[in-house]
């Protein structure tokens, strides 16, 4: 859990610094910062998506995951939770300014939560950290450094909602660390690769959101991250070669 606690601290630190300097940045600079983050998110997403050994697996994972996510209405639930947190932090009001604050808080919380929690370092690092391996802590230390600067930039542009994404980091990475501690080395390399590829595709979609090109409900694709390793295991049990020569 040491890596998760370190990552949570860097998100808090970066967000706090971003909030301190954010209101001093003109809207044009904030817009350019968001564009830069969107472009980097696309590059990371494409890089991670290429980890797949068979594009059919992330395709099936995303489609099945999207159906599950839409049925569960994960986007509505996460936004509802973000709205609940916002009302406790900033209070409830019905004027236009309050409505804008609520929308900005939710966008900051949801966007940063996805960016911080769907990359390969999150899954591999957290699981190995829970198993007590030094490599796991090292990977989360690298992720913590990256998230420090990302959270600073996000908070400067999207506001205080980014700071509260630390709860998502604690929940997701803490849960994965617990799984690692309980189950040991249950994730094979093919499982990790396909999960990474699905996470990359989700990041590409998030990049489109940051660039204001399209507004897909990326939260509803998150179940695909769990579907991917299950499909790999199912193919293995059925004797299907998922990585053709």
The mean pLDDT value for 47-59 works out to 91
Residue 195: the pLDDT is 86
Q: Where are the domains of the chain?
A: 2-236
128-183 pLDDT tens trace: 777 776 766 877 887 888 888 888 888 988 889 999 999 989 988 888 888 777 76
Identify which of 153, 207, 200 has the alpha carbon closest to the alpha carbon of residue 38.
207
Give the span between the Cα atoms of 206 and 132, in whole angstroms. Answer: 32
Give the span between the Cα atoms of 52 and 41, in whole angstroms. Answer: 18
Average pLDDT, the chain: 84
Q: Is 131 helix (H, G, I), strand (E, B) or coil?
A: coil
Q: Is the pTM of this model over 0.85?
A: no
The pLDDT-based confidence of 83 (bands split at 50, 70, 90) is: confident
202-243 pLDDT tens trace: 889 888 988 888 888 888 998 998 899 899 999 988 888 877
């Amino acid at each position: 859990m040491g890596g998760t606690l370190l990552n949570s601290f860097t998100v808090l630190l970066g967000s706090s610094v971003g909030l301190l300097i954010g209101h001093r940045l003109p809207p044009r600079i904030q817009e350019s910062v968001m564009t830069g983050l969107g472009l980097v998110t696309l590059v990371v997403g494409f890089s991670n998506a290429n980890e797949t050994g068979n594009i059919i697996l992330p395709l099936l994972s995303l489609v099945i995951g999207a159906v599950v996510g839409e049925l569960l209405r994960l986007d509505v639930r996460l936004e509802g939770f973000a709205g609940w947190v916002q009302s406790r932090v900033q209070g409830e009001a019905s004027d236009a300014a309050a409505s804008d604050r609520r929308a900005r808080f939710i966008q900051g919380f949801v966007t940063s939560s996805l960016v911080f929690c769907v990359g390969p370092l999150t899954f591999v690092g957290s699981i190995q950290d829970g198993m007590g391996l030094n490599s796991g802590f090292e990977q989360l230390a690298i992720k913590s450094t990256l998230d420090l600067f990302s959270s600073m930039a996000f908070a400067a542009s999207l506001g205080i909602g980014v700071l509260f994404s630390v709860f998502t980091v604690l929940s997701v990475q803490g849960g994965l660390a617990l799984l690692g501690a309980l189950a040991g080395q249950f994730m094979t390399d093919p499982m990790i690769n396909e999960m990474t590829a699905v996470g990359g595709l989700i990041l590409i979609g998030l990049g489109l959101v940051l660039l204001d090109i399209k507004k897909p409900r990326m939260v509803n694709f998150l179940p695909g991250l769990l579907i991917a390793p299950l499909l790999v295991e199912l193919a293995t049990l059925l004797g299907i070669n998922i990585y053709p020569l």
